[in-house]
Structure 1
Amino acid sequence: MSTDSLAEPLNHVSTRRLGSLRLRLTLAVPLLTAAIVAVFEWSLGNYESPAEGLARTAWLVLLLSAAQLILIEALLLRPLRRLAAGCEAMESAPVPLTPEAAVPTPGLAAELDRIGHAMLRARGSLWQQDQAARELRRELAQQRHLLQEAHSALEANQRELASLARIDALTGIANQRAFDEALRREFKRAQRLRGLLALAVLDLDQFKQFNLTHGTAVGDMALQRVASLLNERFKRDTDVVARLGGEEFVALLPGFGMAEAQGVLESLRDELRALRLPDGQGSLTLSVGLAAASPAHPYLSAQALLQAADEALYIAKHAGRDRLSLAA
């Protein structure tokens, strides 16, 4: 059977299919348009009578259907017809009998080459984009890791700064801010549990003169020795020793009454007298004001307890120094 005899049925099939498609579109488009226009027009309710509405709807359906069919013919059916004609032409072409006859025409070969080159360029572009995306993901992962490290370092610095904000830089013990927080906390706990709380304010006697005699460097080392002595003497987990500033220190002793705290502080004064100073010369003495809160002797506030200890220290200073005075 020849190729021409095969192409003829194919031509008829393609023509019948296009004709069938055109017929279905010609029937379906007006029906669908009529339904849409009817629903839209009747929803607006612009007509006084059904006859007027039907006439107006019919005209709209006719115009819209004609416009749609023209567009479908121009945009869909004509390209399909050309495509079918091209396929029919390719199908009706004679079958090559020799390898030389199988070589495509120069125009088709050039078109195939262009398509092949375009596909290669597209594949190369996709590969480059994939590599760029992978590189970007690696950079993002590195940046995320660096950001996490910076965040961890920042948190560590913040913790260190918070710790430094509560520690006296010279002596390494708590500063006044940390002491104020501990005093409020322990005072509330003693009130809630009806417990004991002793507070001692300690001041080195004539320390300004000591600095003038021995120098500020020796004076700083003496303050460090005193702070170390306080840490050694008051080393319970609940004890708090702090430097309020200059040569003034404070000791907060939860669970101690007046008698227990007085005994410990007298021993501390004796140890301070025996303390070996940095240059081996001179000596230091300590004046102490002591107040203690208890259920039998309560204070209205933590500030009132601190004020009572300050007043006792004032009495010890004016009574000749180097002594311990008890709050009334």
Structure 2
Amino acid sequence: MHTDSAAEPLDRAMPRRLGSLRLRLTLAVPLLTAAIVAAFEWSGGGHAVWLVLLLSAAQLLLIELWLLRPLRQLAAGCEAMESAPVPLTPGEAAPVAGLALELDRIGHAMRRARGSLWQQDQDARELRRELAQQRTLLEQAHAALEANQRELASLARIDALTGLTNPRAFDETLRREFKRAQRQRGLLAVAVLDLDNFKQFNLAHGTAAGDAALQRVAALLNERFKRDTDVVARLGGEEFVALLPGFGMAEAQGVLESLRDELRELRLPDGVGSLTLSVGLAAASPAHPYLSAQALLQAADEALYIAKHAGRDRLSLAA
């Protein structure tokens, strides 16, 4: 089967064709030159042989420079093109370019997403730190609030100057103990105590000495009435009250008389003088009941009024 040389690969066919062309030119140029020289000799020229050689060499050099060398360069270019990767056709290049552009967009979006996630993580950490600080501050505020509530509750039941129970807390305790005494058919004594001429004492020695004297009297009352069930309160000013569960009139009277004696001997701050005490005493018992806790306290207060008008520095018993 006949095979056309044009069907051969370009990298093998092109060098072979250049070699054949060079051989033909090499043979044809001298013959052509000889023919020209023969014609010249026939016309009467000399030195034919040397002239043929020189013309042949000149022609071969010109052919090499102007024809064969460009052809070799063209062959080399064709060989390079043959070995180069086959480029994509325009129809194929467009999807690839679109895919590259889409991939670039996806990469840009992923970078933005990573930056956004990093910023969100930083914000979340900062928020957690702030929440931890707020939680600590809240716990501290809660602890401070509880402390204030305890202090307020204490102040609501304690007299600020003397540390004794205040009137509100005393009323609650009086009602509770009165009901207990009624249920158990027990004894309950209430004594109202008032310092004699205390206003004159303040005028003579000053309010600071008066406050110190009230504190000293309060300490004496706490020492005297120290059972767990005893309650001593400051009703206001120089007036005090003692609640003595389980005591009848006789037992309470003995304790209060001793208290009056101790108060006369009490050394006040800076030796500013002495104080005396007037006392009104009432006691509830099965034999001598009262209708209410308030009635019992009022009976003791009325007895104090009698003691005051009878000359002070004495103890008066409720009828």
Distance 1:99 1:200 in 2: 121
- C-alpha change, 1:266 and 1:105, in structure 2 (3 Å) is same
1:293 maps to amino acid: A
**Cα displacement (A) at 1:309:** 0.3
CA distance in 1, matches of 2:86, 2:272: 117
Q: What TM-score do you get using the length of structure 2 for normalisation?
A: 0.68
Amino acid in structure 1 at the alignment position of 2:260: R
Residue 72 (structure 1) aligns with: none
Instruction: State the one-letter code of the partner of 1:135.
Output: E
211, 234, 246: which one pairs with 2:237?
246
In structure 2, how many angstroms separate the alpha carbons of the residues matched to 1:160 and 1:298?
Answer: 38
Q: Does 1:291 align with 2:285?
A: no
Residue of 161, 179, 182 corresponding to 1:170: 161
How many residue pairs are counted as aligned between the two chains?
A: 232
1:160-209 superposed Cα distances (whole Å, 9 cap, x missing partner): 11211221111111111111111111111111111111100000111111
The equivalent position to 2:172 in structure 1, one of 146, 168, 181, is 181
Aligned residue runs from structure 1 range 28-67, under 5 A: none
Residue 283 and residue 320 in structure 1: after superposition, are their counterparts in 2 closer, same or farther (change >3 A)?
same
- For 1:99 and 1:248, the matched residues in 2 are separated by 118
Partner of 1:137: 128
Alignment of 1:177-256 (within 5 A): 177-256=168-247
Normalised TM-score (structure 1): 0.67
Unaligned runs of 5+ in 2: 1-83
In the TM superposition, what is the alpha-carbon distance from 1:100 to its structure 2 partner? Answer: 9.8
Larger Rg: 2
RMSD (Å) for aligned C-alpha atoms? 2.2
1:109: how far off?
A: 2.2
Aligned to 2:306: 315
The alignment partner of 1:165 has SS state of helix
SS of the residue corresponding to residue 199 of structure 1 reads strand
- Report the equivalent of 1:266: 257
Structure 1 residues 100 and 258 mapped into 2: Cα distance closer, same or farther (>3 Å)?
farther
Counterpart-to-counterpart distance in 2, 1:99 and 1:185: 109
Which residue does the alignment assign to 1:305?
296
Distance in 1, matches of 2:140 and 2:87, equals 70
What SS does structure 2 have at the residue aligned with 1:287? strand
SS state of the match for residue 269, structure 2? coil
Structure 1 gap segments, 5+ residues each: 1-96
Matched with 2:138 is 147
